[in-house]
Every structure is written in structure tokens, then in C-alpha cells.
A and B are shown apart, each in its own frame.
Chain A
Amino acid sequence: MCLAIPGKIQSIQTLYNGTVKMAKVSFGGIIKEASLEMVPAAAVGDYVLVHVGVAISKVNEEEAAKVFSYLKEAGELDELYDTEMNIEVLNYKDTN
């Protein structure tokens, strides 16, 4: 429940005159929306730790890859799949 999953920012959309920044974040190929309001300095290509749709901290690429592979091996990524909202699954590409 307090899991935070690292992903790579693919694109950023600014809403409400720039007050809200939403990003499309790729988690090993699964794209989800995440708010960047807690990490306003994050840019396209950066890695962020995302918890329930909100990026809570920036991480470097190496850390992101290690944590993601750990979570994947450990079978901890269910929350990316188990929900009813629109989940776009693109061509599956591993982050490693």
C-alpha cells in the first residue's frame, strides 16, 4: 500500500495556467498518468518514484532500474494492472 514504483517521464502536460503538471510515466512499458506537483523540477526523461498516481521524489536512472527489477522479480507490480481504469499497455519493453 505504501509502495512507490519508479518510472520514466515520457511527456508532461500543464493544466490550469501552469499550476498543475501531469506526466505520462512509463513503468517498464505500462503508461500511467502521474502528478508532478510534488516534484516540479522533474522533466521529460527523468525518473520519479510514483505512489498512487503522484510522483513523490526524483531518483536516478540506475536506482530506478534496480528498484524496478526488484519489484518485478518479487511480483510486487500488481497494482499497475489490477485496477479498472484505462491502462494503456504499449509494446512491452523492459527498463533494464
Chain B
Amino acid sequence: MKYLSEYRSPEIVDALLKQINTTVKGNWNIMEVCGGQTHSLVKNGLLNMLPHNIQMIHGPGCPVCVTPVNLIDKAVYLAMNHNVILCSFGDMIRVPGSEMSLLEAKAKGADIRILYSPLEAVKIAKENPQREVVFFAVGFETTAPANALSVIHAHREGVKNYSILTSHVLVPPAMEAIMNDEECNVHGFLGAGHVCTIMGMNEYYPIVEKHKVPIVITGFEPVDLLEGILMVVKQLEQKEYKLENQYTRVVEHDGNKNAINVIDTIFEVTNREWRGIGEIPFSGYQVKNDYSTYDANKKFNINIAEVHEDPTCLSGDVMKGKIKPYQCPNFVSKCTPVKPLGAPMVSSEGACAAYYHYNMATAVNE
């Protein structure tokens, strides 16, 4: 493997690992809540390089993985039953719904388009005035400005045949829910770098204080991750709990004000269901009433029954850190990226898929 970038330079990686090794004394569980970080930890083999007494727990950091089955069913329903062009990010389309995924709906003739940006969906709406265009707006705070902006653009241009089906989730309430879980065994967090690029760091102070848990906002490249882990371990060994920022080159303390304004124009905070975890209070965005004509949930009468997860999928336990993906009895045997039983096996940022792709079928650090 070639190491061109210094963010994965073997010398720097080795130096950081040495420092981690000499610092760590206790047994610590550190959770990352960013699928990009999970992917990078697994892909770059960092989990195997860390000392045995540091366990990384892969939290609910993949928006695709926590989108409820019911919403996927709604997207499929819209695509199949209406005069709709259903647009989505690529990761969403293979996620199993209760009957089918969007990909299977596409094979049955539904007009489903994979886009790079929600702003492209507004263009499609302009070009197809006789059709309804719906963007399946999933994501964490990082993606919220783009989804909100698509509504603002549509509104400015008087595009009436555009709406979004929102499944927006927020990271801090999920961290709070994890810490409130009695079986929680998380000692420290890596905060998601790009989420904080938008929202800044302010929301994390109350979590640090209330739960006396260190949080280090961290980037996603190997050197970033090791530095973030080292910063958390230092705090834990010194019995400190602070909010720190490893990713200062991108994250400003107060985030991006313009982005926060755009989010506040279109969205308001609501309770939201997380696939595999359940409802978390105030953990998502919904479209504000002023813009309800852009809310696909209100625009279309979508009456479909609530359905539940394949009961044998243990994704909730994986995301809460109770088990590792390879401890799920379905892992590899019944559940693979080609035939996924649960969402974490679908997205490349899901913990199960990351373990599958990088051959982590056997125990790590054990």
C-alpha cells in the first residue's frame, strides 16, 4: 500500500500508537458516532493496531443505517404509486424495506434516480413540471444544510412539484440516549468532525458535564483518529472530562453560522425513530409548517402500516456497543452486503458492512 498522504503516514501512525501505548493503563471503551470514522478505523486496520485495553465501539453514526424501515417503505410507496420521480443518495437505494428496497422498486419500473446533491433534484423538478419530484432527505447535521437549501432554491424559483421526504437525525441527542442507557459502557467519545463543522461544539458541553465523559471532536483520517483516541485516553487516565477539538483545521467552535441559519429556516427539531434503537426525543428535523408544501409526508397521503425490523437483526445491540458485528449469528451466514438483513450491512459506513468488507469476521483485540 502506498502512503502518499501524511494523514496516513506510517511514521506518524507509529509514533501516535506508541504514545497511546505508553499512556493507556485502564480498560477503556471509546465510541465513535460517525460512519466515516468507523469505515476509516476498519479499512485502515487501526482496530488491530490499538492496544487490547482500548475497545472502539461503533455507535449509530451512519444515517442510512438508522433510517427506519417505515420511511424506506414510504419512499418505495411514493416511487411505485404516484407520478413521482424519487431521488436519493446512492447509499439509500439498497437498504431493505419491509417488502423491497428502492433498487428492487426501480427494477419493477419505478423512476428512481441516484443523485450527488439534493440541489440536482430541484433541477429535475424544473425540467419535469408535469411530474412530482421527491428527494429522500436522509442525513445527520452535515447534510441538513444541503437538504434545506434545496427547499429554499425550489421556493425561490417557484418550483411547486418538489418536496422532500425527511429522515434527518441529530448526533448529540443520540449520544445522550446512549449515555442514559443503563447498560451503557462507553467511557469516552470521538465527536463527528463534519457534523461539528456545521453545528460547532456548543451542544456537547452539557453531555460532557452531565455524564462526566470526555468528548474529542475528531477528523476521519488515520492520523486524526489516532490523535483523537490519544486525547480521549489522556483525559481518561487523568480522570478528566473535557470537550476538546482535534479537528481544528476544519471545525470552528461555533460552527458555520450561514449553514445553521439555513437549517433553522426550513427545519425544526422533532422526536425521531432510529432504526435498531427506537425513538429518541428531539433527535431529528422535520420541515417547518411554513414550508409544508415541500414536505412529502404532508403533500402525499402516505398510508402505510408501521412494520418492524427483521427480529433476528441485532443492529441495535451493535450500535449500542453491546456486541461486535461478528457476534451477530447472522453475520456472513445469513446476512451479507448482497443480501443484507439489516441496514448496517448495506451502507459502506455501517459497522457490519465495514467488518464484512475488511474481513473482520473473527474477533478483534481478543
The interface of chain A, by Cβ under 8 A from chain B, is 1-4, 16, 19-20, 32-35, 37-40, 49, 51-54, 56-57, 59, 63, 66-67, 69-70, 73-74, 78-80, 82-85, 87, 96
Q: Could you tell me the distance between the alpha carbons of A49 and B361 in the complex, rounded to whole angstroms?
A: 35
Contact, CB under 8 Å: A66 / B7: yes
Number of A-B residue pairs having CB atoms within 8 Å of each other in the complex? 132
Q: Could you tell me the distance between the alpha carbons of A84 and B86 in the complex, rounded to whole angstroms?
A: 13
Contact with B192, one of A2, A33, A38, A66 (Cβ below 8 angstroms): A2
Contact, CB under 8 Å: A16 / B5: no
Partner-binding segment picked from B145-153, B174-182, B266-274 = B145-153
Contact, CB under 8 Å: A4 / B117: no
Contact, CB under 8 Å: B349 / A1: yes
Q: How far is the CB of B235 from chain A (nearest CB, A)?
A: 25
Partner-binding segment picked from B70-78, B194-202, B292-300 = B194-202
Contact, CB under 8 Å: A70 / B262: no
- Taking CB atoms, residues of chain B closer than 8 Å to A39 are 256, 258
Q: Could you tell me the distance between the alpha carbons of A40 and B258 in the complex, rounded to whole angstroms?
A: 9
Contact, CB under 8 Å: B2 / A73: yes
Contact, CB under 8 Å: A49 / B250: yes
Contact, CB under 8 Å: B114 / A70: no
Q: Could you tell me the distance between the alpha carbons of A69 and B5 in the complex, rounded to whole angstroms?
A: 6
Given A1-B91, A67-B221, answer yes or no on A53-B258 (Cβ-Cβ < 8 Å): no
- Taking CB atoms, residues of chain A closer than 8 Å to B126 are none
**What sequence of 0s and 1s flags, for each residue 111-129 of chain B, a beta carbon within 8 Å of any chain A beta carbon?**
0011111111000000000
Residue pairs across A and B with Cβ atoms less than 8 A apart, 18 shown, are A2-B34, A2-B35, A3-B194, A39-B258, A51-B194, A52-B146, A53-B116, A54-B117, A59-B250, A63-B249, A67-B5, A69-B4, A73-B3, A82-B90, A83-B90, A83-B116, A85-B120, A96-B4
- Taking CB atoms, residues of chain A closer than 8 Å to B161 are none
Contact with A70, one of B8, B62, B115, B140 (Cβ below 8 angstroms): B8
Given A56-B259, A70-B5, answer yes or no on A51-B249 (Cβ-Cβ < 8 Å): no
Contact with A35, one of B119, B142, B347 (Cβ below 8 angstroms): B119
Q: Could you tell me the distance between the alpha carbons of A54 and B194 in the complex, rounded to whole angstroms?
A: 13
Number of B residues near A (Cβ < 8 Å) is: 52
Q: How far is the CB of A24 from chain B (nearest CB, A)?
A: 13
Contact, CB under 8 Å: A56 / B198: yes
Given contacts A69-B5, A74-B40, 18 further A-B contacts (CB under 8 A): A1-B64, A1-B138, A2-B35, A32-B116, A33-B119, A34-B117, A38-B256, A52-B117, A53-B146, A54-B146, A57-B252, A66-B7, A67-B7, A70-B5, A78-B90, A79-B116, A83-B114, A83-B116
4 smallest beta-carbon distances between A and B, as pairs: A53-B117, A70-B5, A54-B146, A83-B116
Contact with B194, one of A4, A63, A66, A80 (Cβ below 8 angstroms): A4
Contact, CB under 8 Å: A38 / B116: no
Q: How far is the CB of A13 from chain B (nearest CB, A)?
A: 13
Interface centre among A4, A40, A80, A96 (most CB of B within 10 A): A4
Contact, CB under 8 Å: A20 / B153: yes
Contact with B145, one of A1, A54, A84 (Cβ below 8 angstroms): A54
* B43 is an interface residue with CB less than 8 A from chain A: yes
Q: How far is the CB of B95 from chain A (nearest CB, A)?
A: 12
Q: How far is the CB of A49 from chain B (nearest CB, A)?
A: 7
- Taking CB atoms, residues of chain B closer than 8 Å to A53 are 116-120, 146
**What sequence of 0s and 1s flags, for each residue 158-202 of chain B, a beta carbon within 8 Å of any chain A beta carbon?**
000000000000000000000000000000000010110110000
Contact, CB under 8 Å: A52 / B249: no
- Nearest to A85 among chain B residues (CB) is B120
* B276 is an interface residue with CB less than 8 A from chain A: no
Q: How far is the CB of A69 from chain B (nearest CB, A)?
A: 5
